[in-house]
Structure 1
Amino acid sequence: MSDILDALRERIEHGGRLSRREAVELVQEATVHDLGELGLLARERRHGRQAYYVYNQHLNYTNICENRCRFCAYSKRRGEKGGFTYSAAQARARLEERQDAPIREVHIVGGLNPALPYEYYLELIRTVKQARPGARVKAFTAVEIAFLADTYGKSQTTVLEELMAAGLDALPGGGAEVFDPQLRQKLCPEKVSGQRWLDIHRIAHGLGLPTNATMLFGHIEGWEERLDHLEALRELQDETGGFLCFIPLPYQPKNNRLGGVGPDGQDYLRMIALSRLFLDNVSHLKAYWVMAGIKPAQLALWAGADDFDGTLVEERIGHAAGAEAPAGMTVPQLEQAIAAAGFSAVERDTFFQPVATA
């Protein structure tokens, strides 16, 4: 194994690509320390000791959803206790509660609510732009885009073009889960296929709309399914170059029908490191502190991650499934967490451009 590691170190230093076979060998034989060392090497080659964060706010506009994903603790059926949908005015009020904060990104995702008219989604984007004219809007997963196209008889391209005209700046990466069709039937049979998720992101990239990508891991998948997922993302990125960031999302096992225990700390760090090594064409890798926990996210910076996400303010989806991290962090808290891990905090915008701060 030492000869393989030495060869990979040399290749990483020169920007070489990890093959599928080498990735399999690493996950089967390398220790978490070996993987972390390689991940850090690849990360430092790109970003040095900088670690990014964004001053953002999450807006989960509805939890009414016609899908019933087995791992989801957030969704409600129409009429079910605890269900909600924000009007545009209520969404504006949520944003205005933080009017004095220099929010640079508003992240909008929700359930698939068949009671909402198509115009609602355009008005929601316009409302956010009016309330936060200086912020970028990252909104609606590929699953939501497919739902809008199917429900309102529009093409996916038209939906994206009309949302962009209303002010959409980027797509989040949610809804990817794990692409394997057989596992998807067990996890989220009502949800669009992994291939359709990829197709919608391909269309977005072709329109000049950048996107993120995710994978939900640590439930019933194995490393083969994880590598299939990463390989599909790498191939699409080779084709379009449209992915800004990859976010490995550790499964949260509480309050849902799937149950289980979720990934442990070593599995999380191995996933971070392998993602950094395999996705050589995706510039940024996020340690999503909300679902990983603050301390594991700090360790992830040493295993290949370069982004610590952001302030969030009010995250609902991961917390519904038992995430134990805070629902939001202040900028000083984020910067302290990054500095305590041994990295230099850099505030960024949605497109990972550093922003000037006073």
Structure 2
Amino acid sequence: MLTTITAKIENNEPINRQEALWLLADADLLAVGKLADGIRKKRHPDNRVTFVVDRNVNYTNVCESKCKFCAFYRDAGSDEAYVLAEAEIFAKIAELVAQGGTQLLMQGGLHPDLKVEFFESLFREIKRQFPAVQNHSLSPAEITHIARLSELTVPETLRRLHAAGLDSVPGGGAEILVDSVRRDISPNKIGWEGWARVMEEAARQGLPTTATMMFGSTETREDIVEHLFRVRALQAEGGSFTAFIPWTYQPGNTELGGKTATGVEYLKVLALSRIVLDNIPNIQASWVTQGARMAQVALFFGANDLGGTMLEENVVAAAGCSFRMSREEMIQLIRGAGFLPVRRTTTYTILEEYT
């Protein structure tokens, strides 16, 4: 099987589900890593590893979805529930800009009262005050929720948000794009086709997007493979995914509990992602959940990007997993692995090389 798969990759032919499942379940980790590393070298022969200077601003922690894997959300009546004031949001963005940041990722929960007008007003003012910042915000679940609350269609909602200053849509809330898993871990969230509909519409409207996968909760290997092939199909049908980011479920402080995936499992899934997703240019390693050292190893298992420095991150931290990374630490991390560090924009325009 490995010989057949290797030949396909060398001939730029896509592998099938059966072959992907064999790589995940039965193949040697280093053999899979070698295949993925070869693809990375072919796609990114300049030895660059990219990153973006960004900040996650969680505008609210109130969420009706109540996903079992989430330690961040609070009920609307909780003493710990909040909605950030605009002044506080602008202060956070100003701090990001002062540190040379270019990407703002705003995500929260499915708040019962925040309709499209709230986001239009906020996004317009962000664009007015910080025109150089890429507003890379709101997951498909949030966009669908805003549309429902506002009695609008998803296309109408996206058009209005885009016009107000939304620049691109992150792939949060994908978890596993298999509804049997979603019913188990996030029964109140949109199904996989709902997630896909938002991403298809975003692409139609010219918005760049990313795709993610959270694995290690209750899914099977077959579910992981199905997720990857559904993302690949969405991209083939006109998707605008610039990158794919697999990351591991963090069980701390969650209703779901359980264990997180091992480092070996993470590297296997990461490498398989690079092999299967032959139509997505960038694969991002998750130092946020894996830590700096594992992120370095990931660069030899198919990843060519280390995501953002994340001046602020609250959701994964709520589950007890808190790593931090300054720009200089990111540069040294990439250099330490033998690569050329390159700062980029959200859409992978090169801003600065650190020779």
Residue 299 of structure 1 deviates from its aligned partner by: 0.9
Partner of 1:135: 133
Give the match's secondary structure for 1:355. strand
Letter in 2 for 1:17: P
Matches within 5 A, 1:75-114: 75-114=73-112
Q: Is the CA contact 1:58–1:313 (under 8 Å) kept in the aligned structure 2? A: yes
Q: Is the CA contact 1:63–1:75 (under 8 Å) kept in the aligned structure 2? A: yes
Structure 1 residues not aligned, in runs of 5+: none
Residue 75 of structure 1 deviates from its aligned partner by: 0.2
Residue 125 of structure 1 deviates from its aligned partner by: 1.4
Give the match's secondary structure for 1:309. strand
Equivalent residue in structure 2 for 1:70, among 63, 68, 79: 68
Partner of 2:35: 38
**Does residue 325 of the first structure (1) align with residue 326 of the second (2)?**
no
State how far apart, in whole Å, the 2-side matches of 1:270 and 1:254 are: 23
**Does residue 126 of the first structure (1) align with residue 124 of the second (2)?**
yes
Would the alpha carbon gap of residues 26 and 97 (structure 1) be closer, same or farther in structure 2, given more than 3 Å must change?
closer
Partner of 1:23: 20
State how far apart, in whole Å, the 1-side matches of 2:121 and 2:296 are: 38
Cα deviation per residue 1:291-323 (whole Å; 9 max; x = unaligned)? 222111111111001110112101001111121
Partner of 2:196: 198
Give the match's secondary structure for 1:233. helix
Q: Is the CA contact 1:91–1:124 (under 8 Å) kept in the aligned structure 2? A: no
Residue 253 of structure 1 deviates from its aligned partner by: 0.7
Q: Is the CA contact 2:341–2:353 (under 8 Å) kept in the aligned structure 1? A: no
How many residues align? The count is: 353
Equivalent residue in structure 1 for 2:336, among 330, 337, 340: 340
Letter in 2 for 1:354: I
Give the match's secondary structure for 1:91. helix
Cα deviation per residue 1:266-314 (whole Å; 9 max; x = unaligned)? 0000000000000101111111211222111111111001110112101
TM-score, normalisation: structure 1:
0.95
Residue 357 of structure 1 deviates from its aligned partner by: 6.2
State how far apart, in whole Å, the 1-side matches of 2:55 and 2:146 are: 24
Give the match's secondary structure for 1:322. coil
Q: CA RMSD in A?
A: 1.4
Letter in 2 for 1:11: K
Residue 99 of structure 1 deviates from its aligned partner by: 4.1
Partner of 1:353: 349
Cα deviation per residue 1:10-69 (whole Å; 9 max; x = unaligned)? 432342211112112212221111111111011111013211100111111110111110
The percentage of counterpart residues that share the same residue type is 35
Partner of 1:304: 302
State how far apart, in whole Å, the 2-side matches of 1:343 and 1:164 are: 36
Partner of 1:169: 167
State how far apart, in whole Å, the 1-side matches of 2:6 and 2:351 are: 33
Give the match's secondary structure for 2:13. coil
Give the match's secondary structure for 1:212. strand
Q: Is the CA contact 1:88–1:127 (under 8 Å) kept in the aligned structure 2? A: no
State how far apart, in whole Å, the 2-side matches of 1:248 and 1:133 are: 30
Equivalent residue in structure 1 for 2:182, among 181, 184, 202: 184
Structure 2 residues not aligned, in runs of 5+: none
Cα deviation per residue 1:108-145 (whole Å; 9 max; x = unaligned)? 11111112243111122123223321111101000001
Cα deviation per residue 1:157-189 (whole Å; 9 max; x = unaligned)? 011001110111100000111122121111000
Letter in 2 for 1:157: P
State how far apart, in whole Å, the 2-side matches of 1:228 and 1:357 are: 37
Partner of 2:271: 273
Letter in 2 for 1:274: L
Would the alpha carbon gap of residues 357 and 37 (structure 1) be closer, same or farther in structure 2, given more than 3 Å must change?
closer
State how far apart, in whole Å, the 2-side matches of 1:252 and 1:52 are: 25
Letter in 1 for 2:12: G
Give the match's secondary structure for 1:240. coil
Of stretches 193-202 and 96-105 in structure 1, the one that deviates more from structure 2 is: 96-105
Residue 9 of structure 1 deviates from its aligned partner by: 3.1
Cα deviation per residue 1:323-354 (whole Å; 9 max; x = unaligned)? 1312xx22111011111112111111111111
Q: Is the CA contact 1:40–1:303 (under 8 Å) kept in the aligned structure 2? A: yes
